[in-house]
Structure 1
Amino acid sequence: MTQKLIALDLDGTTLNSEAVLSNKTMTTIQAAIKAGHIVSIVTGRPNRLSQSYYDQLGLTSPMINFNGSLGHMPHQHWQLEYQYTFDREIVLDLLKHQQEFKIQMIAAEGKHLFLAHQNESTSVGFFPTVLTHDQQLSPVTLTQNPTSMTIAVERPLQKRLQKYIEKRFGSFVDVAPWGGPNSVLEIGAKGVQKAVGVERLANYYHIDRQNVIAFGDEHNDNEMIEYAGTGVAMRNATDQLKAIADDVTDLNNDQDGMADYLSKTLKLA
């Protein structure tokens, strides 16, 4: 069988709704690797919140984080490692306007960077409820350009804040609201999304685009699903993603939909 590059989103796709890898998912991915295919995580999550899954799956491929902005190989040096960043001044500008837009929290991140400034507690599970002294975001502590910025903002002001960022900094960054219940804006370098990372992986492994299978469930997977030769939307995916996908899994992420689809397609059973 032709070697495939399998690009896996994490939340809502490879992970169940408890953010756990099921046994079936782990054994299926192991079987795919054993059959000679390349499996790679391609997620919006930072590396600090995805490496445990990488290790559980026993991967040795590069991992793509921050929606395509960071490509690296955990635990080892990869000569093609890359990281897209944007000017730290954009973060500092938003820190100044924190009261005006009722921003609850701003986090600036990169491969070796995690700083946040919290005005009030937020229920966004991706962030520590208590920040240590060396995690405090300020003009003094932010000494490097970040790869990603995440802002928790009161829902009624989300659109206004998005417009402000796009008007002032739209030629340098893209702004994307999160799907789901949290009112969060995610900011990354202009024009960079998951397909950028998947294309780099395909080139690295000399795998034709038509032999890329990508799985996703949310708007941040759109470009990756379009790029892949076989773009697969989860049963639980957004309607928009299902509309552009080549296929939809029969089962959702709590029923091992990705593993079920992969098993049948690659005849792993």
Structure 2
Amino acid sequence: MSIKLIALDLDGTLLTTDKRITARTRTAIEECERRGIQIVPATGRAMKAVPDEILQLPGVRYGIFTNGASVWDIREGKSIADQYIDWQTALKAVERLENYPMLYDLYIEGRGICEAQFLERLEEFGVPPENCRIIRSSRQPVPNLIAYLKEFHCPVQKINLIFREKAVKAEVRQELTQMEALCVTSSLPWNLEVNAQGATKGGGLERLRKHLHISREETMAFGDGENDLPMIQAAGLGIAMENGADFLKKQADAITLTNDRDGVAAAIEQYAFGES
């Protein structure tokens, strides 16, 4: 059965280590558009943190954002499906974490909301320079996040947590998993990502393919991290990057080259185009 939809994680997958799309990968995506294959960014990022270079790629009309909490028709500027944390649950979560040595921000209405100290202390918490640049360019500072939630009662797409100590990350993860309304995952060694229970990239892929009347067998997905596992499992063909987590590679249908060696392009050429 031919591939009609390809879901692509961004960081560590579509993008190289220095956050570029290679010429070979861009050519493969352009060929997908010619063949009528939907290219779908599937990321933990909020939509407004995704560069226009990606949103304007040939064939990109739909996106799966904030780990599947938001499925969006980019061209029409409207939501297809969403699954958010209600503001009361988000408030309980962040209040439980107030005394831990960590940083956090909230994804609300497609953008990151944070306190000023969050932006000022990124390097202190070991966040790599390129990630610092992306974060600072896509966040809106507010005086106090707890006060913001109490005042505006905003549903939250995702809570993003940053740690400098693995032990603290593990302790916080255990604390949050006790809240049944939440799903806790991670995409980077120094972060945790908290969504509503059931909001995953895999769930987002399933909702989108049904919206487009595409069967599971006609979908393909790429990823490298923990938050990509549900999407790899939900796709007809799940591809793990060679640079990906070992447990993800064990669950994938196939493993491609690294993100710095045109892994996405190589697998698209082989499996979607039938090239040897």
TM-score of the two chains, using structure 2 as the length reference:
0.85
> Equivalents in 2 of 1:158, 1:70: separation in Å?
25
Aligned residue number for residue 107 of structure 1: 105
Contact 2:81/2:207 (<8 A) preserved: no
In structure 1, the partner of 2:36 is 36
Task: State the alpha-carbon separation in 2 of the partners of residues 268 and 31 from structure 1.
Answer: 13
Query: Mind listing any 5+ residue stretches in structure 2 that lack a counterpart?
Result: none
Measured against aligned partners, the alpha-carbon deviations of 1:55-108 in whole angstroms (never above 9, x if no partner) come to 341344210001111011224234x522211132344345545552112x2201
1:232 to 230, 239, 246: 239
| 2:136 matched residue in structure 1 | 128
- Which residue, 242, 246, 263 being the options, matches 2:249? 242
Deviations 1:177-230 (A, max 9, x none): 3433x2x22110002211111111211222111111111111111111111111
> Which residue in 2 is equivalent to 1:207?
214
1:73 & 1:21 partners in 2: Cα distance? Answer: 22
- In the alignment, structure 1 residue 189 sits paired with structure 2 residue 199: no
State how 1:156-167 maps to structure 2 within 5 Å. Answer: 156-167=167-178
Distance in 2 (CA, whole Å) between partners of 1:8 and 1:60 is: 11
Secondary structure of the residue aligned to 2:28 is helix
Q: C-alpha root-mean-square deviation of aligned residues, in Å?
A: 2.4
What residue number does 2:162 align with?
152
Note if contact 2:46-2:111 (Cα within 8 Å) is conserved in structure 1: no
Higher helix share: 2
| Match in the other structure for 2:114 | 116
SS at match of 1:146: coil
1:81 is aligned to 80
Aligned length: 261
Q: Give deviations 1:235-256, integer Å, cap 9, x for gaps.
A: 111111111111111x211011
Query: Aligned equivalents of 1:213 and 1:252: distance in 2?
Result: 17
Which amino acid is 2:72 matched to?
H
**Residue of 243, 256, 259 corresponding to 2:262:** 256
Q: Percent identity?
A: 26
The 1:241–1:139 alpha-carbon spacing in structure 2 relative to 1, beyond 3 Å, is closer
| Paired AA for residue 164 in structure 1 | E
Sort the Cα spacing of 1:60 and 1:267 in 2 relative to 1 into closer, same or farther, 3 A: closer
